Amino acid sequence: MVLNKLRLVSLAVWRSPVNLKARKFSCTSYVRHKAAYEGDGKTTVRVINMEQDLGLMIDSYGTFGFRLNNGLTVLGPMAIFPRTVLSWQVHNADEITAESLTFFRILVPKIDLVILGLDSKERQTLNSVFRASREAKLNVEILPTEHACSTFNFLNAEGRSVGAAMIPPKHIELNEDDMLVSKLHYGKLYERSDLL
């Protein structure tokens, strides 16, 4: 790393300003040794869903329920925690009352933030859910299910004590990538050895 830096510095010295002024500056005359950032010049991607020790994460969602990164499929609304998942007894967002949310309050270690993933985006529903959470005295973040899933994922990866209560969405917009992935999943269902 240090050697590379030295090499870069020496190259910069050779290309002194005097030389540059002598001929017109053009990008093509430079050989690019590194990208603009530090490192090997390669971009890395870290998929947090693949890392098992960061806790439970939601891989995908559908109108039926959710698929988690440990291979579980949960049908219907669920309550998910860093390492636990439970099914939740509400049918849709209108049925969320302070009673259904009291569970999050009595847990130890204390949950800092509860993410509520709702299926509808109407103001009425959001207001009633917010009031219910206020009665239950929870610190809550109310989002549509799609955004709630990804928010739960990266908050869990950070190591915060978050809980999430998700209701599967009523409609999803499918794209071809999604359809392909779900076809592959069902096609290989009977070949998967970890489910035996």
Contact residues toward other proteins (CB under 8 A) are 112-115, 123, 139-141, 143-144, 147, 151, 155, 159-161
Nearer to other proteins, 99 or 112 (CB): 112
Q: Do 118 and 125 touch, CB atoms closer than 8 A?
A: yes
Nearer to other proteins, 48 or 182 (CB): 48
Nearer to other proteins, 170 or 192 (CB): 170
User: What CA–CA distance (Å, rounded) separates 54 from 99?
Assistant: 30
Q: How distant is the alpha carbon of residue 79 from its chain centre?
A: 16
Q: Do 48 and 24 touch, CB atoms closer than 8 A?
A: no
Q: How distant is the alpha carbon of residue 189 from its chain centre?
A: 25
CB of 7 to other proteins, least distance (A): 39
CB of 34 to other proteins, least distance (A): 33
DSSP symbol at 190: G
What number of CA atoms fall less than 13 Å from residue 48's CA on the CB side? 15
CB of 54 to other proteins, least distance (A): 14
Nearer to other proteins, 19 or 55 (CB): 55
CB of 62 to other proteins, least distance (A): 20
CB of 28 to other proteins, least distance (A): 32
**For the chain, counts of helices (H) and of strands (E):** 6, 8
Nearer to other proteins, 76 or 144 (CB): 144
**82 prior amide bond cis, ω within 30:** no
